[in-house]
Each structure stands twice: as structure tokens, then as C-alpha cells.
Amino acid sequence: MARPQTIEDQTHGRAWRSLLRRPASPGDRLFQGTTLLAALSLLGLLLAMAAYLFYVAWPSIARFGVRFLTGSTWDPVKEVFGALPAIYGTLLTSALAMLVAVPVSLGVAIFLAELSPRWLRAPASFLVEMLAAIPSVVLGLWGLFVMAPVLYPLEKWLASSLGFVPLFRGPVFGGVNFLAGGLILSIMALPIITAVVRDAILTVPAAQREAMLALGATRWEAISQAVLPYARSGIVAASILGLGRAVGETMAVTMVVGNGYRLTARLFAPGNTMASKIATQFNEASGLEINALVELALVLFAVALVVNLAGRLLVRWTVARAAGGGQ
């Protein structure tokens, strides 16, 4: 922690701050006030989101209470709305996505940070980042017309040979199901996990791996026993942020998850997530169903808020620790 202050630190911190405290000219005050207002608008937006979602969701909250979260029927005719299958769908597809994306992203990050030849590093990083830039609806289009038809025969084979496992029980309809949703989500979570893990690995001091290599370790032993443990909190933070991405992702998963609303362990069953339920149902909804869909958005907001807050704080802590020299 007690790092000696450089001249850069002192000028950046103390001198600059003392200038701030000096009585400012009217122009300065106006300028600072305007920028402060803009900055505070971000905070205001977050608070307004919570307030407005709660306000519009209130009729549904008042009517159903906890039953909204535990009920499993969504019946606009009888005006009974339970979100459990959608919540379950979000959990199932996100878990699938993490199961695929975390190991693959780890591999990609390790390759980019530790193994890749120097000339390949920048272009490969660029390509992986490009994956995040593809619009969700385009990825959904691809998933629907290219990925799902490819998965279909594979799923039929799994259902016929491993059908005794509840996860793989048939019937299989056309490749649009929980599994496809999870796989598409894994593609969308991959770039952010990779980027955060790679940055975490790059903060590991070179001495850490050199010491290991000097003891006669292989490259992989140095990575797995000296580098990855050091970057552990960064890896956890990356996974949390990836989870946040998977939980809130809407269009791509809406297009490939099917449109079922049942609690089932079958990966080959069509399903829904919270986000996809909102997207598919909204334009046909009226009356109380709209309030119920907004309540679903409120739940999603709360989950995203907690997950992202946790992830970001962990990233900050990791960076601060690395800058402080580490413990």
C-alpha cells in the first residue's frame, strides 16, 4: 500500500486539487456546474429507472405479491401471471452459457495474454472483440437459420441414445430450445469474459511466472500455478460480468429459445427467459399483463444491478490491488 509517491502522483493529485479549491471564476463555476449536472444525470437515470419500473409494475405487485415469483401460469385471459418458468429459463440458459463460455474464454484469454506470437496478438484480440459488436438480432438470425438446423440432428441423436437422462429426454422439435438459447448466450458472454480475464492476466507481474519457469516448470505449470491463482479475483469478476450479459441478453435468445412456458429439466424443450418473455409478449399485451411484464423487467433490472455492481466492484478491487503492488 505504502507506495512512494512519484512526481506524477503529486502533480496529478495535490496541485490539481488545490486549484479546484481556489475560488473559481464565474466561467469556471458555470462550466463545472454544467458538467456536474451531466454526470449526475447518470445517477438520476438509474434511480428513475428503479422508481418508474416499480411505479408501473405496482398493480401487478399489489395483486400477486410473492406469487408472481413462485407461480408458473401466465394466463392473460384469467389475468393470472406467474413468472417462475421465465425466471427458471433465464437461470437455465445462463448456467448453460457460463458452462460453455467460462472455460472457452479462459482458454482464449490465456492464449492472447501468454501464448500467442506477438504479431498475432492484436489481430486476434480485435476479432474476439468484434464478436461483441455483432448486433444481437443478427446473431439471432444466424442462430435460427444456421445453428439450430445443425444442432437438430445432433439433438435427436442425443435424445435417442441418452434419453434416459432427464436433461436429454425427447421429443425434439426443430432445434429451437433451451440448449440453443444457452449456446447463443455463451457466444455473447464470451467477449466480455475474455477481455476482463486477459486484462487480469496482464497485470500479473512477470517475476511471478519467471520464478516458476526458473524452477523448471513447464509453461502450462507456470500459467496454472503461478499466473491464474494471481488473477483469480479478475477471473471471478469476469465470470460475474459475463453472467450479467447472459441474464439480460434479449433478441438473439428470443429468436432461438422457442416459446414454451413450462418448468422442465429437458434441454430440448422450447422455453422462455425473462427477457424473451417481455419481448415476445409485450405487443400483444394489454391491461394488467403490461404491469406484469413491467414487473418482470423490474426483476431483471434488480438482478442486473446486483450482478453488475458485484462484478464492477470486484474489478475495481482487483485493479487497485494490482496497482498497490499486491499482497
Partner 1 sequence: MMGATRTYMRRRATNYTMIALCGLATLAAVGILLLVLGYTLVHGIAYLNLEFVTQTARPLGEPGGGMRHEIVGTMVLVGLASLLGIPVGLLAGTYLSEFGGRVGSLVRLVADVLTGIPSVVVGIFAYAVLVRPMGTFSALSAAVALAIIMLPVVARTTEEMMKLVPQTYREAALALGIPRWRVIVSVVVPGATVGIVTGSMLAVARIAGETAPLIFTALGNRFGFAGLGEPIAALPLQIWRYAVSPYDSWHQQAWAAAFLLVMLVLVISVLVRWLTASRHG
Interface with partner 1 in residues 35-64 (CB under 8 A) = 35-43, 45-46, 48-49, 52-53, 55-56
- The least distance separating partner 1 from the CB of residue 41, rounded to whole angstroms, comes to 6
Build a one-symbol-per-residue string for 82-101: x at contacts with partner 1 by CB under 8 A, - elsewhere: --------------------
Asked if residue 274 lies in contact with residue 263, where contact means CB atoms within 8 angstroms, the answer is no
Q: Is 255 in the site for partner 1 (CB under 8 A)?
A: yes
Buried b (16+ CB within 10 A) or exposed e, 283-312: eeeeebbbbbbbbbbbbbbebbeebbebbe
Residue 185: closest CA among 93, 270, 261: 93
Q: Is 286 in the site for partner 1 (CB under 8 A)?
A: no
CA dist., res. 282 & res. 136, Å (int): 19
Size of the site for partner 1 (CB under 8 A): 100
CA dist., res. 81 & res. 295, Å (int): 10
CA dist., res. 148 & res. 177, Å (int): 9
Q: Is 203 in the site for partner 1 (CB under 8 A)?
A: no
Asked if residue 269 lies in contact with residue 262, where contact means CB atoms within 8 angstroms, the answer is yes
Q: Which of 201, 307, 314, 322 binds partner 1 (CB under 8 A)?
A: 307
- The least distance separating partner 1 from the CB of residue 169, rounded to whole angstroms, comes to 26
Q: Which of 72, 203, 224, 233 binds partner 1 (CB under 8 A)?
A: 224
CA dist., res. 327 & res. 324, Å (int): 8
Q: Which of 279, 288, 319, 321 binds partner 1 (CB under 8 A)?
A: 279
Q: Which residues ranging from 173 to 202 are in contact with partner 1 (CB under 8 A)?
A: 187, 190, 194
